[in-house]
């Protein structure tokens, strides 16, 4: 009888223990950073995201969500899907992209889209246009005001490239 009572107490204690909460990942907002001269109608990582981004655009991550591990692991990938229309025709593209190493958790996931369908993915607490974001913000080199300057030493004046 004592054995049965001890076994019952042990089982009751085991059942009353709270299950362990999986806090190894969190829901991160998704942001788009467009390093091209084309409009992005939408972009997502592992199905999370959306939103629009104009040419050469960067902003805050304000579309919900994708699950991100608290700690970066080598070989982490996400499936990035984006729509970069040509006129009224939607052009969908998809790529498996490795998430670049991050040291701080709690950031948002940013999808960076470059010319020739190059895609980079970072996790950062800083907006895509911030000088502290891991990848520099896009620069519109089609605008004369953003072209690098050269100094004409002979005439002592700046010239565009």
Radius of gyration of the CA atoms of the chain, in A? 24
pTM: 0.75
Q: Is residue 143 part of a domain?
A: yes
Q: Is residue 13 part of a domain?
A: no
Q: What is the pLDDT along the chain (161 residues), one digit of tens a residue?
A: 555 445 454 444 444 455 455 569 999 999 999 999 999 999 999 999 878 899 999 988 888 899 999 999 999 999 999 999 999 999 999 999 999 999 988 899 999 999 999 999 999 999 999 999 999 999 886 665 554 444 445 555 555 54
Q: Taken in order 71, 75, 79, 80, is the CA torsion positive or negative?
A: positive
Contact between 65 and 48 under an 8 Å Cβ cutoff? The reply is yes
Q: What angle do CA 22, 23, 27 make, to 5 degrees?
A: 110
The domain in which residue 62 lies consists of 25-160
- Name the domain count of the chain: 1
User: 142: Cβ–Cβ under 8 A, 6 or more apart, which residues?
Assistant: 37
Q: Is residue 38 part of a domain?
A: yes
């Amino acid at each position: 009888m004592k054995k049965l009572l001890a076994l019952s107490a042990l089982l009751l204690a085991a059942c009353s223990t709270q299950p362990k909460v999986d806090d190894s990942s969190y829901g991160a907002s998704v942001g788009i950073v467009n390093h091209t001269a084309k409009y992005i109608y939408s972009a997502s990582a592992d199905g999370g995201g959306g939103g629009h981004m104009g040419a050469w655009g960067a902003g805050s991550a304000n579309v919900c969500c994708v699950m991100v591990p608290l700690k970066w692991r080598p070989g982490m990938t996400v499936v990035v899907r984006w729509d970069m229309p040509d006129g009224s025709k939607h052009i969908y593209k998809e790529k498996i992209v490795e998430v670049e190493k991050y040291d701080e958790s709690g950031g948002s996931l940013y999808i960076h889209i470059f010319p020739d369908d190059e895609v980079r993915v970072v996790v950062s607490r800083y907006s895509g246009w911030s000088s502290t974001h891991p990848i520099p913000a896009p620069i519109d080199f089609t605008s004369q005001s953003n072209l690098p300057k050269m100094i004409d030493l002979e005439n002592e004046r700046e010239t565009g490239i």
